[in-house]
Amino acid sequence: MLAARHVVCALSGGVDSAVAALLLRRRGEAAVRPAARDAWDSEPAGVSGGRRPLRAGYQVTGVFMKNWDSLDEHGVCTADRDCEDAYKVCQILDIPFHQVSYVKEYWNDVFSDFLNEYERGRTPNPDIVCNKHIKFSCFYHYAVDNLAVKLLQAADSFKDQTFFLSQVSQDALRRTIFPLGGLTKDFVKKIAAENRLHHVLQKKESMGICFVGKRNFEHFILQYLQPRPGRFISIEDNTVLGTHKGWFLYTLGQRAKISGLREPWYVVEKDAAKGDVLVAPRTDHPALYRDLLRTSRVHWIAEEPPAALVRDKMMECHFRFRHQMALVPCVLTLNQDGTVWVTAVKAVRALALGQFAVFYKGGECLGSGKILRLGPSAYTLQKGKSRARASPEGPSEDPGPRPAP
């Protein structure tokens, strides 16, 4: 994963700021192509051994500050032409362009001080005052508050951690770097070997829930939660197949260990009120597949929903609810309370309440929301259609929730 270091480069329309933006842009390009550069950046011999790790890349935005309004004077102001030149620089470099106006702030904090000092017979330096009040106050806060850091997927898709970072705050990400985000695991091991860190190369990957470790999960949980015995029931014919120690011990999609049965059965639903766990006889049973869910209020990495989602109330993107699972194409429908309906293009297996739906678009992690409601399973919909065909008056019950158009 990469927290793209978002650099805001002030552009005056002159050569110095243009080249500064160019160099920042090139550094960003180098960082997102570690394979082409062998993940290292060249350095003159004798500086630090001739090679150094590639630095984190920059996502550059050019911003032109308008600090003087030509309408307030009778002379000539080149601000408009300078702004056009700054905009052209951004076009050439293919970076976003923004314009901000600090005419009022400049007048009150810089020019008024300039006049007052002259009126007192002093010789002021407005450039120092401008840096203090405009460039490193107004402009600085604009950059920090309005241009968000993006959370990008890592170069190594297998080790990408954006799924687990999808609830981290924008404020924290602004102060975070991920030095390995542009490297594959194999190259990380190569670096370790080249730097005599052999003792850590042989260690196994840390996987799963750290505080559970290799212990039996059921035994571990029952040390802290009271058992709540219940029944395993077939979803197809309501046959009682066995008993369990607590419905909370199971998650949808997992194999249910039912004493006395040799063939596998899989958890498809849980009835918290009765304590029953509903099971199906196949790992691909339609009761395991759903194409609709509703989340809690979504935590957006950028702190606000994507502009397209706000504007249209719907947006195409991808999501996943387990780490390393393939991304699923979907359509988000934004609700007034900040929650979203997620409609998968194709039904997915084993959606479960409490999991996080993590959203992606164009290699960027947008954020996530906890799954609080599930739509009907494919099995429930099939049964509803069968009843509708059997009844001349149509379906007798609503098959489940659907997002409003």
Amino acid found at 60? V
pLDDT in tens, 197-256: 888 787 777 666 676 667 788 888 898 889 999 999 999 999 999 999 999 999 999 999
Alpha-carbon 37 to chain mean position: 27
Active centre residues (catalytic): 130, 210
Which tokens is 346 given?
Answer: 């194709």
**What is the reported pLDDT for 4?**
60
Do the Cβ atoms of 129 and 50 come closer than 8 Å?
no
CB atoms within 10 A of CB 25: 22
The alpha carbon torsion through 324, 327, 331, 334 (nearest 10 deg) reads: 30
- Residues making up the chain, counted from first to last: 405
Distance separating alpha carbons of residues 197 and 190, to the nearest angstrom: 10
Alpha-carbon 175 to chain mean position: 16
CB atoms within 10 A of CB 89: 24
CA neighbours closer than 13 Å in the CB half-sphere of residue 340: 29
**What is the reported pLDDT for 280?**
96
**What is the reported pLDDT for 265?**
95
Distance separating alpha carbons of residues 57 and 49, to the nearest angstrom: 22
Residue whose pair of structure tokens reads 């559970």 in the numeric block: 212
Distance separating alpha carbons of residues 230 and 223, to the nearest angstrom: 18
Tell me which residue of 162, 177, 172, 157 sits closest to 366, measured CA to CA: 162
Which tokens is 50 given?
Answer: 């001739």
CB atoms within 10 A of CB 103: 17
Q: Using DSSP, state whether 311 is helix, strand or coil.
A: helix
Which tokens is 15 given?
Answer: 């050569």
Is the Cα dihedral 84, 88, 90, 96 positive or negative?
positive
Compute CA distances 81 → 26, 55, 76, 104, 351, whole Å. 26, 35, 11, 20, 56
Compute CA distances 131 → 72, 139, 155, whole Å. 22, 10, 39
**What is the reported pLDDT for 2?**
62
Distance separating alpha carbons of residues 179 and 186, to the nearest angstrom: 15
**What is the reported pLDDT for 117?**
84
CB burial of residue 33 (10 Å; 0-12, 13-18, 19+): middle
**What is the reported pLDDT for 70?**
64
**What is the reported pLDDT for 384?**
84
Question: pLDDT under 70 in the chain at which residues?
Answer: 1-4, 28-57, 70-78, 206-209, 211-213, 391-402, 404-405
For residue 189, what is the enclosing H or E element? helix 185-194
